[in-house]
Each structure stands twice: as structure tokens, then as C-alpha cells.
Structure 1
Amino acid sequence: MDFRSDVRFPGLRRAIEQCAELNSHIEGFRSDPNGRATLRADLDVDSGYHILRIDQIPDYRHAIEEVSLGLGDIVNNLRCSLDHLAWQYACAHAKGTPRKPRDVYFITCNAAGGQQHKAPGFLAPQVWGRMHAYQPCQGVNGRPDSWSGPYIHQLDLLTDLSNSDKHHMLAHIELHANQFTTIATRADSPPWFERTESGVKLLPERVNDPDPGSDHLDFSHASGLAEVGAEVARIRAPLWTGHPVIARVGTATPLFALPEGRPVVETIQRLSEFVQTIMDDLQQYCP
């Protein structure tokens, strides 16, 4: 991420640095073969599909703890950065220390249609007007949530994570269907690939040809859980015919996620960008 860091808000600068550190930690763990779950395949006679299930799983407790601690630090630095921003403008409005300093923080406005949007008295109207443009009451406002699960505004998510960090472990681990590898499922290549002396050549004109030797994947029963016995996917694989059980058919790579499947690093980067945007905007229009 290419952020401009303001020395007046070291918490934001530190949060951005911690995002990079957390990403390196997670990717290091994910690339370690010892951190992957092993899979087995059992033939479902009625459907002809082999069901992939988690057979053995590493002990993820330490990894989850480390990611949760790092994530909590980032969330609280982001939250504090917004509160420091509100304090700075509250002091400017009061021309000194605000009359009720404990009441000064970055307000969240969730007023619904027809309800009053109450402006905080410790901020100048111009400043609150700019802050208010980024509030959950304004709706999506060009900042959609692209992750799984129901939509949640960035400020609401940041507040929820900050509150949860005081009482819960923030991160957990899921094993998603697109994060696994298996032994070969077919003996040949699709008709749109041609093997040559130098390798494999793509034949675009044949991409719509029938592929009788193809495998078929079904993710509709996948649980996403990182536990022994959890289903990862179902595969109808020509090369596996005649093998009712394949003991070590592949591995699954862990995905560190927040509740509702939101990926940790991408989500926290999105929140960092949101906080940075607010600070840049306030400093540009309300110096």
C-alpha cells in the first residue's frame, strides 16, 4: 500500500507498518507445508463423486493467537488515530482544551432516514460536515464491501473489531475450497491444450470442444471449517475410478479470516485506506 503518513498521527503510520508485518507473518505460515491440513477422498457410490474431507490438521492455536494479537494492535491503532483526529479539531474549536475532554472521540452516526443527525458540540460545523460524509448513516457512498457476508460500513466494522478485541480472539482459520491441491485427477489434457516438444500449447479455437476426460468439482457441500472430518469439496475424477478410498489425496491451505469469512489482511488494508482517506480529506478542507 502506498500511503502518505502524517507525523501528527503516528498510530496510523504504525498501523500501516503492522499491516505489512501481519501479511508477511500470515504468508510465511501459509507457505509452510507443515501448516497445511491433509485430505482423504471417499467415494460416494450413488453420485460417483469422491468426497474430500480433512483427515489430519495441524495445531493452529499458536498461529491464531499471533494473528489475533497483531490484528488487535492494528485495529486499536486505527481507532485511536480517528480519536486523535477528533481531539485535534476539538482543541482547535475550543482554542485550548475542550470543556469536557472525556466526551471527545470520533463520533459514529447511524441515524436512519427521518432521524436527527446530532452534531457533536465539540467540533466546528465545517469539521463535522466533513466527518459526517464518512459516517454509516450516509450508506455505501461509493465504498462497497466486496467481501463475503452481509455489507458492513467500514466505520461500523472498525468499531466492532475494536470492541471485540477487548473480549474475544479476533481471527480464526477457515479452509476454503479454492485453497486445496490434490493428486492428478485425469490422465490427459483438455482438447484445447496440445503437448509439444517445448511444452504445452494453447489452442484457443478448441476451447468450446467437448472434454470427455474432464473432472467435475462440487463445492456446494463445503463447510469451510478447519476441523477433522469437515468437507472441502467433491470431485468426479476419471483417474480415481476404482479407488473407493484414497488416504492422502492432497492438502488444504489455511485461510485466516474474520467472522463471515472476511479475509484478515485484505479487510484490515481496506480499513486502513478508509482511515487514511478521512485524515487526508479533513486536513485538506479543514486545516
Structure 2
Amino acid sequence: MKLTEELNTLIEGFRESPSSRAPLRAELDLGSGYHIVRIESIPDYEPILEEVSLGVGDVVNNLRCSLDHLAWQYACAHAQGIPAKPKDVYFVLCNAVTGQQHKTPGIFATAAWGRMHEYQPCRGINGRPDGWTGPYIHQLDLLTELSNSDKHRMLVHVELQPNQFETIPTRIGLPPWVRRNESGDFDFLPDRVGDPDPGAERLDFSHSSHRMESGEEVVRILAPLWGQQAEIENIGSAVPYFALPEGRPVVPTLQRISEFVEMLTDDLQRNCP
């Protein structure tokens, strides 16, 4: 968990730095009236991408090794010494689906494998809490995927996406639920949140490429304040977002796997000491 925390500090520190931001420009689409916001240029992200990728690899390898060490511990206990085939000892995964036979590795005692099997991908969530919001993938399958990627590609694949951006003002006036008071500050009026807002801008993300690259579209904005200006330079900037394959967020993904491995390890040591 400490390595994950250090990785999070690295990522958030980079994201907060002004030098990490990519400038944006806007071009008017006459057909729709929307301004198409694109990335003008990007900084040199290669050093930070390599550093984050190496950090992810360290976390993934530590987690995978901890499971293999756990397997070795229980294999030695079952063999009452060094197992006959030491190279065949590793943390076994069972991905059996309905109608298939589940794995029963002979290197572990029945009770130990029974506890391990409760946490296998074939068992799914198995009644355990899991607040994962993306497309479901079992934690052990995800760990294996990342571990294999790190072994075969040298570095875990990490990409950048422009998930956060800021622009120059886009609207005329304040929304109905915001009011400037006598001191010049703004008051929030929750009872007016549902009121019509004729001066609001409209955002369209349906054409976004979700890639942090020069020329890529970030969003389309129907901005009352921008009018019919054909092109607007330096309208704002995009903040990079670090993602694993399929857009999975780096740190929450690693935390999810780490918590699962810790839960599995604690259960085994408690029930099969």
C-alpha cells in the first residue's frame, strides 16, 4: 500500500503542476453552432509516463510475489518440507465456468486450497463488498493481466486522457441558483437549481477521442459568450489523467487489488495457520 501511496503522490503532484497542462483552442462548426475544442499541443509526457509505468509495475510485481510466497508457504506445509517440484509452486487461479471442473491442485492441503478457492475468479464477488464502478473484472484476473503485461512489454501500459479541463468564460450572466451578494461574494440558492437557465452553455462529449494528443477533440461547446468567432486560441487547458488499459484509473485499480490480496492473505492465515 505504501508504494501505491507514493505513486499517487507522484501522479497528483504532476497533475497539479502548471507544466503538465495542455493548451486548448476552439474552432466554430457552422453547421451546429458549437465550438469544437481541441488540444493545441502537449508537453513532453514520456518521462512521467515511464516513471508511472515503472511504479505500477513495482506494485503489481509485489502483489503477485506476495501471493506466490503465500502459495509456497502452504505448499511446503503440505509437503512437510520442500515440495517435490518447486518450480511448479505458484498461486493457482481457477477460472472454471458453469459446467466445467474446478481446479484442485495437489500441492496444497485440502483445507488451504478450500480457502484459496473461495477467492478465485470462478467464485466472482462471492458476497464480498466491491465498490468497483467500471466494467467488472475479478481482482486476480486483473492482477494477472497487469503482471503479464509488465513481463512481456517491460513496462505496464499507461496512457493519458484529458478528463479535466478549464476554459475562458462561456456564458453570459449567472445561473439562477447563483447570486452575487452585497459584499461581492456568491451565494448558492439550492431551491433554484431546477429553474430554466437560458444563458447556459451546452457541452457535447460524444465526439471526444479521450486521447491526450495534439489535435484531438476534447469537447464541443455551445457558448453564448463566444458568439460566432471562427477560431479562438488559448481558450484554456486540459489536465492529464493517468489510465490503465480500458481506461481504468491507475491508483484506485491498484488499491482495489491490494485490498483484495490483503483480505485473502488475512483469511488464509486466520483459518489455515
Shift of 1:145: 7.0
Residue matched to 1:283: 269
Identity within the alignment, %: 62
Moved more, 185-194 or 78-87: 185-194
Determine if the alignment matches structure 1 residue 52 to structure 2 residue 40: no
Determine if the alignment matches structure 1 residue 257 to structure 2 residue 243: yes
Task: Please report the TM-score for the alignment, with normalisation by the length of structure 1.
Answer: 0.90
| SS, match of residue 181 in structure 1 | strand
After TM superposition, where is structure 1 displaced by more than 6 Å over at least 4 residues in a row? none
Alpha-carbon contact 2:28-2:228 (below 8 Å) kept: no
1:137 to 102, 122, 128: 122
1:67 to 32, 52, 55: 52
Alpha-carbon contact 1:67-1:171 (below 8 Å) kept: no
Distance 2:133 2:56 in 1: 18
Shift of 1:200: 1.2
Alpha-carbon contact 1:145-1:152 (below 8 Å) kept: no
Distance 2:26 2:72 in 1: 58
1:117 to 102, 116, 122: 102
Structure 1: runs of 5 or more not aligned: 1-15
Determine if the alignment matches structure 1 residue 179 to structure 2 residue 198: no
Residue matched to 1:41: 26
Determine if the alignment matches structure 1 residue 105 to structure 2 residue 90: yes
2:192 to 206, 231, 245: 206
Distance 2:146 2:23 in 1: 32
Distance 1:147 1:228 in 2: 30
Distance 1:79 1:271 in 2: 10
Amino acid at match of 1:179: Q
User: Residue by residue, what CA displacement relative to the aligned partner does 1:177-223 show, whole Å, maximum 9, x if unpaired?
Assistant: x4111111113110111110241112222222111111110111111
Alpha-carbon contact 2:161-2:243 (below 8 Å) kept: no
Distance 2:25 2:133 in 1: 30
Distance 2:21 2:55 in 1: 21
Distance 2:238 2:159 in 1: 12
Amino acid at match of 2:227: T
Distance 2:266 2:52 in 1: 29
User: Residue by residue, what CA displacement relative to the aligned partner does 1:45-71 show, whole Å, maximum 9, x if unpaired?
Assistant: 111110110101011111111111111
Q: How does 1:207-286 map to 2 (within 5 A)?
A: 207-286=193-272
Distance 1:225 1:193 in 2: 34
Alpha-carbon contact 1:171-1:264 (below 8 Å) kept: no
Distance 1:244 1:140 in 2: 52
